[in-house]
Chain A
């Protein structure tokens, strides 16, 4: 491991100084700085595109900086790579789980932890035991011998966390670790983080869930447009101040749901069941101009319900009515014909095709309308793409740029545009603002209000209670594959929703949460 002694020493366990990086001419980081002390949880926040992920990747050696230096305990790291980072005790949980689908959980954990000793024999028993120990520490009930491909998204996230724990790292970086975790798993994670902090680990914590930060973070560094804007103690910072630092301006309201005129029933589900995915007896109506929020814990069957409505896992019992007409939805194609659109949760994998240009991505669900017997109407495709790029304020130099070059929020706008271009009467949004920055979030919320006002019926799945409460006209709560309760806009509270989502049916009206969590949710 090649290290040099650097002259300056600030007492920080890890310091990134004046880091600059540009990708193909786009400046991602400009003189960004970050100082992490041992035994602190250091929140790193900023809008999407602010450079958080790039900074993290530079710290872990996955990306090389153009200029600037990273020091660990005052020593400058040279020739940085993920391998070097591992040797130095820098571990990371990336936003997208980086697991090997074909390998077992135990091996996935081991590969992240063991220095690759290429010619030594592997001790399978020890790998298995360590995996079981680490998984138990994060409270995950996952068999170390099962293949990673069999895990759900939250389970994959838990395996990543377990792997990072096992690194016994001096510096642990977590990029949106709670993005797909249930409330219970999140609490487990926080307990683990507190324990690591007590043991002296420095933790960089990236999250868009600002309410989490006041619970778990000690200090916060704000990035904006690739620069470090501020770094200060977390105590005394409130949500409003954080948002202000991130966007550089005051946001009047993060969730601007305007009331819209409610029309006829656009989507009605009657006793919908899908045995394959565990959906049972779901009854929901969504009227034109209405946003119905679907709350629930991860695994409650919300995404599965959306997939059933959209024909990905067709229902085996019950009825679906669109605009009062009984229809059989056997495939997504049929769903699209009936005017249903579905913007899925996993944006990069299912929402957009990253390699394709923005124009082709937007046109993808409307190819029938854009083609004639003579072939594709590319002029029309370009017009439509340009139109949505303008209307949704997609920030890009050109509509022919690959979607992969956009930030998360703009990718999500492309995913939305694709389905708006089909002019749906029913729009199903699955975690529409997950992992995107506050400003893009507000824009998407504004767009949802506008669509509702135009008479689109929206079914919105979300794990963020403030979003559910702010955006929904009505709220339904799912638990165990079915709907366990519904509220009107005025009667819903976070406590009631959470109680139902946790399965405490009888406590629904007076369930209370203790201490910090409750406070933070109101922040």
Chain B
């Protein structure tokens, strides 16, 4: 329990929300509504998984929303040009990873600050896409694009299970595999990591590539839910993902945090809007309440004394 105290605040908040909804609007728990919520939030979860790792390594990626749009449109175009459905996934993963590699090169290799680099890429990908598509949606997709031609029920399961599988795999790897621990080490103290024989630049580059690939996966799983691909998808996605990561107890300065928390963060922020509607509160409050939740997470940070660096500094003064 102590080990999970960082995630506890978000878990408690989520439990409270569910109890309130259960009492006031039990209709929220209908199978259809829960399934819709899960399917809607699966792409966000995938991106939040990548974002957690980026933040753990001490960086940030605010270009994911624009990458998402590029990958979505690319998925649509590829399908239209006759790329078989089975080849869509590897293609889109590759496109995502390539976009991530641009960030990885600029941040990891050249050592540029990630917030500026990814801000530039946020603008570049988004406006590049606007210029190429002229704002037009990708329409007339082949019939087997939507739901991968598998039918809605199966495909919905596939989307949710894919996201959760990624969560489990990366959660396990972060804890139990050398590369995962290297992420924590670099995020905790890059120079100490270098002296310990880890190459921080490689780790950082790799994490950005992974982030891009996860964006690709999320974009594809999201795109197949509809019969056409809008050119402006993924707006504000970076903020959703970062908020979920922070609410889930990951330290924004890196080195500390777990994917369990991110799952709770995504669930909490992803359901609050719908929950409000069910309870009868004007959904215009959604964003404001999300803001309060983010601040609350940071404040519980301070109260629980989770800000390790400060603590360390005080000890040694």
The chain A residues found within 8 Å of chain B, CB to CB, are: 60, 62, 82-83, 85-87, 92, 94, 98-103, 107, 111-112, 114-122, 124, 147-153, 156, 303, 307, 312, 344-346, 349-350
A345 CB contacts on chain B under 8 angstroms:
316-317
Cβ B316 vs Cβ A102 within 8 A:
no
Cβ A120 vs Cβ B193 within 8 A:
no
Known: A83-B197, A346-B317. A149 touches B176 (CB 8 A): no
Cβ B255 vs Cβ A103 within 8 A:
yes
Closest CB in chain A relative to B113 CB, distance in Å: 15
Most buried by A among B177, B192, B256, B317: B317
Q: Does B280 reach chain A (CB closer than 8 Å)?
A: no
Name the residue of chain B whose CB is nearest to the CB of A113: B196
A124 CB contacts on chain B under 8 angstroms:
176
The residues in B between 241 and 272 inclusive whose CB is less than 8 angstroms from any CB of A are: 251, 255-256
B188 CB contacts on chain A under 8 angstroms:
100-103
Cβ A120 vs Cβ B317 within 8 A:
no
Cβ B194 vs Cβ A62 within 8 A:
yes
Q: Does B140 reach chain A (CB closer than 8 Å)?
A: no
A389 to B296, CA, bound (A): 47
Cβ B308 vs Cβ A149 within 8 A:
yes
Q: Does B32 reach chain A (CB closer than 8 Å)?
A: no
Closest CB in chain A relative to B243 CB, distance in Å: 21
Cβ B196 vs Cβ A120 within 8 A:
no
Given contacts A62-B195, A307-B317, 5 further A-B contacts (CB under 8 A): A101-B255, A101-B309, A103-B184, A147-B308, A312-B317
Cβ A102 vs Cβ B255 within 8 A:
yes
Known: A83-B197, A83-B199, A118-B179. A99 touches B189 (CB 8 A): yes
B255 CB contacts on chain A under 8 angstroms:
100-103
A112 CB contacts on chain B under 8 angstroms:
196-197
A117 to B311, CA, bound (A): 31
A114 CB contacts on chain B under 8 angstroms:
178
- Cβ 8 A contact of B185, one of A60, A94, A100: A100
Q: Does B167 reach chain A (CB closer than 8 Å)?
A: no
A197 to B144, CA, bound (A): 72
Cβ B177 vs Cβ A100 within 8 A:
no
Q: Which 6 A-B pairs have the closest CB atoms?
A: A102-B255, A100-B188, A98-B192, A149-B308, A83-B197, A149-B312
Most buried by B among A101, A124, A147: A101
User: Could you give 14 example pairs across A and B, Cβ below 8 Å?
Assistant: A60-B195, A83-B199, A98-B189, A101-B188, A101-B309, A103-B181, A114-B178, A119-B178, A121-B177, A150-B311, A150-B312, A344-B317, A346-B317, A349-B313
B313 CB contacts on chain A under 8 angstroms:
349-350
A62 to B313, CA, bound (A): 25
Q: Does B217 reach chain A (CB closer than 8 Å)?
A: no
Cβ B193 vs Cβ A94 within 8 A:
no
Cβ B317 vs Cβ A350 within 8 A:
yes
The residues in B between 171 and 191 inclusive whose CB is less than 8 angstroms from any CB of A are: 176-179, 181-182, 184-185, 187-189, 191
A349 to B194, CA, bound (A): 20
Closest CB in chain A relative to B106 CB, distance in Å: 23
A116 to B188, CA, bound (A): 16
The residues in B between 274 and 317 inclusive whose CB is less than 8 angstroms from any CB of A are: 308-309, 311-313, 315-317
Closest CB in chain A relative to B63 CB, distance in Å: 26
Q: Does B198 reach chain A (CB closer than 8 Å)?
A: yes
Name the residue of chain A whose CB is nearest to the CB of B175: A122
A344 to B313, CA, bound (A): 12
Name the residue of chain B whose CB is nearest to the CB of A151: B315
Closest CB in chain A relative to B124 CB, distance in Å: 31
- Cβ 8 A contact of B178, one of A82, A99, A120: A120
- Cβ 8 A contact of A102, one of B177, B182, B184, B197: B184
B182 CB contacts on chain A under 8 angstroms:
116, 118
Cβ A101 vs Cβ B316 within 8 A:
no
Cβ B309 vs Cβ A98 within 8 A:
no
A417 to B125, CA, bound (A): 51
B196 CB contacts on chain A under 8 angstroms:
82, 86, 98, 111-112, 116
A92 CB contacts on chain B under 8 angstroms:
195
- Cβ 8 A contact of B197, one of A86, A151, A303: A86
Name the residue of chain A whose CB is nearest to the CB of B310: A149
- Cβ 8 A contact of A122, one of B176, B185, B316: B176
A85 CB contacts on chain B under 8 angstroms:
197
